[in-house]
Amino acid sequence: MNANLVNKSLLNLIESHISPIPECGCWLWDEDESTQINYDKLSIDVEVFMYQIYRGEVAENQNVVHTCQIACCVNPEHLSLRTKTDGIKNDNGGTCKTNELESA
């Protein structure tokens, strides 16, 4: 199967599970507690997939982290890379606040 078709099909599936929050720009993943999705017998990390599709490759020694501080956000503009040796720590410059999401 063509990799571009797989990516497009997977992206369409993922986008059907995203709820944009205009007040803060987050794209909330609406599936359970995890940002994983099963696709074609694979477990896909939605954050990593979204980063790769919209921003670029993720090296083996890197993690995708949330600059908005919202763990279920999959907006590529709110995702950045950290090396695994830096640990999985988020930026302090996030613009989303939990209470904004609760009132939306």
Domain that holds residue 12: 3-103
Q: 39: helix, coil or strand?
A: strand
DSSP 82-102: EEGGG-S---S-----HHHHH
For residue 1, pLDDT over 60 is answered with no
Q: What are phi and psi of 45, to 5 degrees?
A: -80, 110
The pLDDT score that the predictor gives to residue 22 is 93
Angle between helices 46-54 and 3-15 (to 10 degrees): 120
Q: What is the pLDDT of residues 62-90, one digit of tens each?
A: 999 999 989 899 999 999 999 877 754 44
- According to DSSP, the β-strands at 26-29 and 42-45 are unpaired
The pLDDT score that the predictor gives to residue 75 is 96
User: How many distinct structural domains can be found in the chain?
Assistant: 1
For residue 8, pLDDT over 50 is answered with yes
pTM confidence score: 0.74
